Amino acid sequence: MQPTRDPSSSSSRHRSLTGALAALRACLPSPQIAFAPDVEARYAGYMEAGRIAHLRVTVGVGLVCYDLCGMLDHVILPDLLYLPALVRLTVATPIALALLRTLSRLKPAPREALVAALVMTAIAFQIGFLMASKDALVPYALMPVLVLSMYANVIVQLRARLAALTSIATVGGVFLAVHLRADLPAELQGALFLAISICTVLGLVSNHQLERAQRLGFLQVLRETERSELLTREKAEFSKLSMIDALTGLANRRAFDALIAELWQRGHSTGSSFSLLLIDVDHFKRFNDHYGHPAGDACLAHLARTIEDVVIRKQDMIARYGGEEFAVLLADCVADDARAIAEMLREGVTAAAIPHEGRGDTERFVTVSIGVADHDPTSGATIADVIAAADRRLYEAKRAGRNRVVVAEAGETTTSPAGARQNPL
């Protein structure tokens, strides 16, 4: 429960975020739509669930429409009889259904490649029908190719590179098929090739703009997410700093008040007890007068580390209570255990042998006096009662000669007599 400082700089993180987003935004107008590898990975993760759902719908609907086009082939290519419908139903349809069943189990790259391959297979079949038929209406067999090209680029939204490869293969296949049809007039061949070329260009431009819009949307979400995370980190950092004593790095009085209230409430809910140690540095004013305040600050920081060496449980707290005083909260701890820990603290400070020549008594090193009180949730004692009991025992230790531990007697925390603290010189 001991708060710690976060050494990271919020302002530097904010500058890094702003620079990263500016760089990402600058890359979008270029024909090559891509982010840096780490951001590209985040984009892929962001799009993954939505992409799978999109493909399930578009591939499923596209398959139904593709099979229905078999009726169109029966009208346009009657000489092929039921061959187009048979190819659609026995080859293309099973492949598409198998892909639909495995969409969620495939990694993004092979999944996108398989979808592109499926579309390209459907286009290849249609171009094959166009070359095989001898019917006078064969030029109209190009219509499904135009539809499939737009479907791949605009509806399915193949990834930019796959869309370009599929479109180039489609244009090349149509050009070859039309060129090999010697029965078609040159003017008609040119018109058909122009139609597929225009359709392909429009599809690629639409594909590029759609993906660009998706990536811009991702950048907006990323920006807001990073801002939210930055604000959360800064809030947590400021909260920690507001609970830390700048000199010693320990919890401050605010953090102490929060934890003792939590422990008191927990005790009344679960019946658990806690103990409080109030620690005061003996003759600290004389230390400052003799060595100076910078040395006094260094002494307090040294004592803080000494106490931390003894109080090591995460559920406990060491706090700078005020001036030269420290407080230790020991969760789930009774008076006897607290006394043992207090004695270890006192002995640890004595063993540190911090010189104190200006004490005015027989001692020559820094020592501490400690008052101990525990809270029994059945006693009816308030938080103020517990603090007052520890405070009285601390100053009893002072009056008894210092460098000692005094523990409050059982039941002492049930009252809060006025004027408990009387600070001896």
Short-list 80, 81, 151, 98, CA closest to 122: 151
Whether residue 376 lies inside any domain: the answer is yes
Q: Please list the active-site residues.
A: 324
Tokens of 267: 């005790």
Same domain (yes/no): 257, 151: no
Same domain for 374 and 327? Answer: yes
- 313 and 269 in one domain? yes
129 and 261 belong to one structural domain = no
316 pLDDT above the threshold of 50: yes
Average pLDDT for 244-269: 90
On whether both 66 and 211 belong to a single domain, the answer is yes
In the chain, pLDDT over 90 holds for what percent of residues?
A: 52
Is residue 147 situated within a structural domain? Answer: yes
Please tell me the distance from the alpha carbon of residue 162 to that of residue 153, in angstroms, as a whole number. Answer: 9
pLDDT for the residue 399: 93
DSSP character for 90? I
CA distance 361 to 115: 89
pLDDT of residue 394: 95
pLDDT band at 2 (very low <50, low <70, confident <90, very high): low
| pLDDT of res. 32 | 54
In a domain, 247, yes or no: no
- Print the domain residue range for 402: 253-414
- 27-36, 171-180, 406-415: range with highest mean pLDDT: 171-180
Q: Does 239 fall in a domain?
A: no
Shared-domain flag, residues 113 and 150: yes
Examine the domain organization and report whether 204 and 303 are in the same domain.
no
Residue 241 lies in a domain: no
| Structure-derived torsion over alpha carbons of residues 413, 419, 424, 425, reported in degrees to the nearest 10 | 140
Count of domains forming the chain? 2
Residue 242 lies inside a defined structural domain of this protein: no
Write down the mean pLDDT value for the chain: 85
Which of 415, 411, 407, 420 is CA-nearest to residue 342?
Answer: 407
Residues 349 and 308 in one domain: yes
> Which residue is listed with tokens 């067999």?
141
Query: Do 353 and 301 have their domain in common?
Result: yes
Instruction: Determine, yes or no, domain membership for 238.
Output: no
- The pLDDT tens digits for 178-220 are 888 888 888 988 898 899 999 999 999 999 999 989 988 998 9
Two structure tokens written together for 320: 């700078």
Of 211, 228, 245, the residue at which a domain comes to its end is 228
Residue 322 maps to which CATH number? 3.30.70.270
Check whether residue 258 and residue 112 sit in a common domain.
no
Is the pLDDT at 418 greater than 50? The verdict is no
Taking each helix axis from N to C end, the angle separating 186-241 and 10-27, rounded to the nearest 10 degrees, works out to 180
Q: Are residues 200 and 269 in the same domain?
A: no
**Quick one: 199 and 282 in the same domain?**
no
Out of 69-83, 100-114, 250-264, 268-282, pick the least confident.
Answer: 69-83
Judge whether residue 291 has pLDDT over 90: yes
Euclidean distance between CA atoms 201 and 149, whole angstroms: 10
Q: Does 176 fall in a domain?
A: yes
Taking only Cα atoms into account, the Rg of the chain, rounded to an integer number of angstroms, comes to 40
Distance between CA atoms of residues 33 and 50, nearest Å: 19
pTM of the model: 0.55
Interatomic CA distance for residues 40 and 222, integer angstroms: 12
| pLDDT tens profile 340-386 | 999 999 999 999 999 999 888 888 999 999 999 999 888 888 999 99
